Amino acid sequence: MEELLFLAHRIPYPPNKGDKIRSYHILKHLARSYRVHLGAFVDDPHDMRYRDKVEALVESTCLLPLSPVLGRLRSLSGLVQNKALSLPYFYDKGMQDWVDSRMASATLQRVFVFSSPMAQYVLGKNSPQIRRVVDFVDVDSDKWRQYADRKHWPLSWLYRREAETLLQFEREVAMKFDASLFVSAEEAALSKQLIPEAAGSISHLENGVDHAFFTPDANYDDPYAGCREVLVFTGAMDYWANIDAVRWFAKEVLPMVRAAVETAEFAIVGARPSREVQELSSLPGVLVTGAVRDIRPYLAHARAAIVPLRIARGVQNKILEAMAMARPVVATRVAVKGIDTAGEDGLEIADNSNEFAEKTIRLLKAAGTSTVMSSRHWVCRRYDWEHNLEKLDDHLGVRQRERRHIA
């Protein structure tokens, strides 16, 4: 087996949030064909308990703790160095030393970087024998631009600066790496527009969903105490885009929904709810759960999943998971932008608060079952991990016959 260096900004386990879902499935796929050396940070101390599960997949690891508080302090050096704050946030000399030792190996032939800040560890390591592939996932620089548009000064200035400096770094990485990947055709197209010099090496690698795990066929206990008109949102609730989404829905949309369907409830299901999210529980019809062991019961017993994101990049796994559970979904247009929804009838798209409320009310008042099996069948066909990840081997420069030899 050939050797491959895999760098990720977060330990790719457990697969319980967007980036870790993608990095875990990619790592699992690559571990079948390579001896993988994994370097990653652990920003949640609880994730260290999964170290054995990760180490069982790979040849060696360098898993370093990352304190978000210390990371933010380190990131301030970017202001002095005229670089993106994300780079010093994710820089550690111990990680660099470990990467250097791996790169010095005569048997290393592939490098896979997950998330652009990790590219700094190998950016200057040019070697004709080593093919380097970066998975940007999303165009992060544009995400910061969106944040800047919704914030007041001085955060608007800081976020706009991050958008500009991170784009400069993304351009440098895309120009020097052999291939640059994004989570959707839309993200790849935006990157080609922003970095036309590297358009020839930019492509996309779509996500999947674990449809064997997210299945409506299992028996799930009802976590809602019998309430039948539940609208559920799932996601990490310390993430600003999610915070903005649930606050907007709870304050501007839900009152209109409850005026028409007084028994409607809004469940916000996700770990680490911020203070702003916790305060929403004081509003009529709002439930904030915090972390749960299994989100499937909360999806299975909800009338619909709602995704009222006003800022979004890439593919929203929460939409794919809800569809795999055969739940109808009401979402904003920006939330579904990275998903191929052609021919899919289990998804309602709303552009403003009135339209969001109208479509949600219509769904709640609809007679009959709210299970949308067509959504599940569509997701199983269109977003299958095994099928979508086959393209990764081509980006890594492995031909079909070489793939059989490696295996």
Q: Encode 381-395 in three state secondary structure.
A: HHCCHHHHHHHHHHH
**pLDDT over 90 for what percent of the chain?**
84
Distance CA 340, CA 185 (A): 9
Asked if the model's pLDDT at residue 399 lies above 50, the reply is no
CA distances from 80 to 180, 226, 280 (A): 29, 56, 39
CATH superfamily of 230-382: Glycogen Phosphorylase B; (3.40.50.2000)
**Helical spans, DSSP H, in 268-342:** 275-279, 296-300, 317-324
Report helix, strand and coil shares of the chain as percent, to nearest 5.
45, 15, 35
Strands (E), 147-193: 179-182
Contact 246, 212 (CB under 8 A): no
Asked if the model's pLDDT at residue 28 lies above 70, the reply is yes
- Reported as a pLDDT band with limits 50, 70 and 90, residue 405 is very low
Contact 131, 201 (CB under 8 A): no
pLDDT at 400: 38
The number of C-alpha atoms within 13 Å of 382 and in the hemisphere containing its C-beta is 17
| Residue among 26, 92, 38 at smallest CA distance from 65 | 92
Q: Tell the CATH topology of 2-208+384-406.
A: Rossmann fold (3.40.50)
Topology alike, domains 2-208+384-406 and 230-382: yes
The number of C-alpha atoms within 13 Å of 240 and in the hemisphere containing its C-beta is 10
Give the pLDDT confidence of 366-382 residue by residue, as tens digits.
Answer: 855 556 888 898 888 88
Residues in the chain: 407
- Across the range 230-245, mean pLDDT stands at 95
Round the average pLDDT of the chain to a whole number and report it.
92
pLDDT at 407: 36
pLDDT at 344: 60
- Reported as a pLDDT band with limits 50, 70 and 90, residue 403 is very low
| Residue among 138, 135, 92 at smallest CA distance from 114 | 135
Q: Which sequence spans correspond to the domains of the chain? A: 2-208+384-406, 230-382
Give the pLDDT confidence of 155-188 residue by residue, as tens digits.
Answer: 999 999 999 999 999 999 999 999 999 999 999 9
